[in-house]
Structure 1
Amino acid sequence: MIKLSVLDLVTVREGGTAREAMADSAALAQCAEAAGYERYWVAEHHAMDGVAGGATAVVLAHIGQATSTIRIGAGGIMLPNHNPFVIAEQFGTLDALFPGRIDLGLGRAPGADPRIAQALRRDLARASDYFPQDVVELRALFTGEPALPIRATPGLGADVQLWMLGSSLFGAQLAAALGMPYAFASHFAPDHLDQALEVYRRTFKPSPWLERPHVMAAMTVTCAESDEEAEFLGSSMDQSFVALRTGTPGRFKPPVAGYRQTLPPGQLAMLEHMRQASAVGSAQTVAREIGKFVERTGADEIIASGATFDPAARRRSLELTIKALV
């Protein structure tokens, strides 16, 4: 069976609170651990009313305390928003608290809102240009190779598994050059998926940390007792995607029956385009769609996104999904 992992945005429901979102994420991580998922990742987003994972390392400490064996990590940290030394200290601390369980996925996209750049006191355009150099520096802060004039404590010697994230050819090329595992954000940006994976595998250079290419691809996954129920539950994610693409993001909305039938052609086409990296339906449907996607991509792992308005429904989705693939 292919390895399955979980991607969590720590979604804040309409009418809910960030505190509730944190409790829901801890319960979801416990469910994923009990069901046999490989890893549980939290994504960094800022200034979004419906996403509570901005202080990613702090959220991961909360998730780590609620679990005991599942790998936990960032999917990912947008490195242009930070300096490598601080990230080395944060994730070195997480490794000290939860040894042998920490992943650190690194992304180059800092976010498009200039107000975020101002709030972070960062020149994000320039920081993005330094991204490859910062990745190498961050790895050196953990490994000590090459030696740097300053040590991160905690950090140096930490057993943190570094991943490269991407939705374009840039991340694929950099992951290959540095000999890193590669995670592709196909759940919301599938356009360059096939080309990026081909480039990554063809140009991969083995490193002391990874001998051969390793790919994890993201899918939107919602599994329920029937196709109809899953489509209904998945309409909350549909609303979230539409709101994001139309510049009106907000808190996570309740599901709406027949939601797609209410959309104008352009928004419906956008959702259908993203469905090439999704599995929404009964256990049989989800198993079939994941199987087709794995056959297409040759992925070594699948990481499942796909929040539901009712947190219990997503926990049930995780359980049904992994059982369907056994």
Structure 2
Amino acid sequence: MSTPTLQDDRTANDARAPRATTKPRRQVRAGSHLLLLAFAVYFLIPLWWLLVASTKSNSGLFVGSGGPLWFNGDFNFVENVKGLFTHDGGIYWTWFRNSFVYALAGGVGATLLSLLAGYGFAMYRFRGRAFLFSVLLGSLMIPATALVIPTFVLLSDFNLIDTMWAVILPSLLSPIGVYLIRVYAQEALPQDTIDAARVDGAGELRTFFRVSVPLLRPAVVTVLLLTTVATWNNFFLPLAVLRSQKLLPVTVGLSNWQALSSAGAGNEQAWNLIVTGALLSIVPLIVAFLALQRYWQSGLTLGSVK
């Protein structure tokens, strides 16, 4: 009968070691999943309420058998959408078009300027580069609402108040976009690649568009999404610089309807149209995220392999 050796004891201990750590790891993983699930439910509840409320009539929003988070017996979503076409002359769709124009012009313009500025900060060495970038980072600490009054005065000097340019021009500036492009370019653009393109005879513009921009695509799409959403959701700036109802975006227009419904001015009660209009206003943003997610997801692993 053979006696157990030291090597046999080590082998047995190694075989038991993974089993001892499996249970705690599973517990940690389960706890993480539960925490993520709780956060998902927390963030999805307002969206679910908006979806449910858009199917109710004006009275059904306040008196109903289903409660605030469930449907009533009647389904009035189609009637609510039709009401948006007729209420106040169908001005909601004018607001919707304005928001689309502001978001498209502001998002594309801010992304282009951020791309040019961020690429310049990352790839070129010039006098005052560190100081200018420090000023850029400092501007991130200034609340956007604090700049509305100076922006209003500046636009007033150029007679741009109550025009679309009063919303589009300030939306073209995105310090956070410049910062993201600069940081991403430093990691995604090897200096050897840029130098090789220059040695092959490519000019600066050709190097930028043919070599750099394709590698920066995830960062560009991320900045495009951020600036587009920020412009679409912009509220305080349009409220301050626009007076005409026909130039308002959806955010300010629905706020005006809410104020009238709260005050009961002229028997104005359009709560069902407000929630339905709010639901329709987020559809373009959801479509944009779903359509562009494959581009910015490709940059999530940047720097994971050295």
Given the two structures, how large is their TM-score scaled by the length of structure 2? 0.22
Larger % of strand: which?
1
Higher alpha-carbon Rg: 2
